[in-house]
Chains A and B, each alone.
Chain A
């Protein structure tokens, strides 16, 4: 009989596949997560993040492949796995008519937890003033904090959060981040979080797995991904208005020519583009010269650090939040 043990990796996902009628939602995904890690599954809508976490949560079954959590699997050990896990689904709406304390008490009873734990959680997620407020009267951010509180009730070893801040305003998002950063300090919990906000992945997680079309596009530590290869810098440019009037295909052609030489990305709608350069001093003049030769006049130029979105754009030609 297998025991949950520190020798096993926390979570092992091996070659999982999952299809729905016409869509292959997840294709041959494998990764390993170790104890205490904070991991982001980053990718645009429809990339397969939810399907993947729900398979880890035992809510969906993979068509093929295997998932082990501390050496245990859902088929044989569901009853032992459930108490180890805390989770929030992409959209859960709790009972409208119950208030915050009642909702937490109900869930606490499923884990045989005392009322004192409910009070601790209310403090952890900062809902003291809303304890008696009915769920239907909570704001989006407060609902998400309630969902997070429920996920944290049972002192989970593994916390799985599916898009915990989607649709929230920046303040509400930061409140959730702070709760999670606090949790990270305590160091007892591992986190898997899905998101399409690169800031969220960058801010909270040390290890990032980028999903695209049901597959893992790239994975690695945050720093490794951002330094990816050569530590390129990103230069953003804007074209003169009259240039944008030029027919699309002519512009396209010019950028295709440029793309042969540079890692350039052009956004037609914004008439903005970016290029990734390794050495600004030598490469930037060269790039500007090429632009000039092609008759493209730059009206604005700026530099910034590379982000995960840049990486995603480089790899797929799309943005994360497209």
Chain B
């Protein structure tokens, strides 16, 4: 009788899964480099003082003159209006040392051309003059257009002085922990955990089933529990390493720091891993078609990518939607990580989220196991 060596079986499974992942060049890119590029790109774009640029169309009449342009020239900003080198276009720079300069390009053209620019997204705001009144045409849901409307109507107000006339002063917040990059990094880490687990685990398992590898393996005395345990463990370890690398990178390049309890952070990330691992096992439990798998994973991942406030706060979504969004696993993980990284939170603030994440993972895992198609 051959002596049973269960630990040997487990270690071989872990080695095999590790090799399988490490030898896939795409893993290095999507798992490690991509989040770092994202952090770098978005971080730089939003950390530097934001110069605002806007495009405005000034409507001309049939005679080829634009009353709106005349108004502008006669305003306090008139002397700063300079010809741009491009036909019918002028540029106005409004200097602002605190918030960053604002540059507005004014294009003088016909109404029809102006509308075309609007449709193509080249301009957000159209100015015309009717009966001595300046009319502003823009989509009220276009935030930029609203901003430039205010800015220009301010310029055209009679008696306006050059420079700042507002009461009160503006202070730019570039304090650590309040910058966009600080908001972004924990979100990217959470997203990395989700993406790598959902695609790596779910898709990986479905592919193994479609290759008939799972049914070949379960035809041996292999323990199914070891099989699942090993792929989840390897994936979790990879995710932790990826998160750590992203942290190191953002610490070195943006001075991003951890202000809260590291242990609570570790537990939270682990719980997030469980949650997505359970979901992955559940999603991969039946189908052997990689196309179906692709669709199902996207169906689950996409709403969270959009809704969970990874890149921009979800508080801009309608009020009724926010409580729903807050219950998504990606939101819980990202919010919890932000509170530990940025607000100095510890176990007392994040234990509930960790518990819910881990618990939901276990439930999905058990449900998936119940209906798992091994053959």
B213 touches A111 (CB 8 A): no
A111 touches B220 (CB 8 A): yes
Interface residue B4 (Cβ < 8 Å from any Cβ of A):
yes
Shortest CB-to-CB span from A207 to chain B, Å, is: 24
- Most A CB contacts (10 A, CB to CB) among B2, B9, B220, B375 go to B220
Interface residue A93 (Cβ < 8 Å from any Cβ of B):
yes
CA distance A106 to B9 in the complex (A): 7
Count of interface residues, chain B, beta-carbon cutoff 8 Å: 26
B2 touches A110 (CB 8 A): no
Interface residue B13 (Cβ < 8 Å from any Cβ of A):
yes
A111 touches B16 (CB 8 A): no
Interface residue A315 (Cβ < 8 Å from any Cβ of B):
no
Hey, what's the 0/1 contact readout for B8-44 against A, CB within 8 Å counting as 1? 1101110110011001100000000000000000000
Neighbouring A residues of B220 by C-beta, 8 Å: 82, 107, 110-111, 154
B215 touches A89 (CB 8 A): yes
A60 touches B375 (CB 8 A): yes
- Most B CB contacts (10 A, CB to CB) among A58, A94, A106 go to A106
Main SS of chain A's interface residues? Answer: loop
Hey, what's the 0/1 contact readout for A106-119 against B, CB within 8 Å counting as 1? 11011111000000
Within 8 A of B (CB), among A155-185: none
B212 touches A112 (CB 8 A): no
Shortest CB-to-CB span from A227 to chain B, Å, is: 38
Interface residue A245 (Cβ < 8 Å from any Cβ of B):
no
Given contacts A57-B219, A93-B211, A105-B12, contact A112 B2 (CB under 8 A): yes
B213 touches A95 (CB 8 A): yes
Given contacts A93-B213, A106-B13, A112-B3, contact A82 B219 (CB under 8 A): yes
CA distance A93 to B2 in the complex (A): 28
CA distance A282 to B100 in the complex (A): 110
Interface residue A102 (Cβ < 8 Å from any Cβ of B):
yes
Shortest CB-to-CB span from B211 to chain A, Å, is: 4
- Most B CB contacts (10 A, CB to CB) among A85, A110, A154 go to A110
Interface residue B216 (Cβ < 8 Å from any Cβ of A):
yes
Interface residue A97 (Cβ < 8 Å from any Cβ of B):
yes
B221's contact among A60, A82, A98, A105, by CB below 8 Å, is which?
A82
Shortest CB-to-CB span from A80 to chain B, Å, is: 10
A79 touches B215 (CB 8 A): no
Interface residue B370 (Cβ < 8 Å from any Cβ of A):
no
Shortest CB-to-CB span from B38 to chain A, Å, is: 26
Given contacts A109-B8, A110-B222, A112-B9, contact A102 B212 (CB under 8 A): no
A106 touches B12 (CB 8 A): yes
B20's contact among A82, A97, A111, by CB below 8 Å, is which?
A97
**Which 8 pairs from chain A and chain B are nearest by CB?**
A109-B12, A97-B23, A93-B211, A110-B222, A110-B220, A112-B5, A109-B9, A92-B216
A residues with a Cβ closer than 8 A to B are 57-60, 79, 82-83, 85, 87, 89, 91-95, 97-98, 102, 105-107, 109-113, 134, 150, 154
Q: List 16 A-B contacts (CB under 8 A).
A: A59-B219, A59-B375, A92-B213, A93-B212, A94-B213, A95-B20, A95-B213, A97-B20, A102-B19, A106-B12, A106-B13, A106-B15, A110-B217, A112-B2, A113-B2, A134-B23
16 new A-B contacts, CB < 8 A, other than A59-B215, A92-B211, A97-B23, are A59-B219, A82-B221, A83-B221, A89-B212, A89-B215, A92-B213, A93-B212, A98-B16, A98-B19, A102-B15, A102-B19, A109-B9, A112-B4, A112-B5, A112-B9, A150-B216
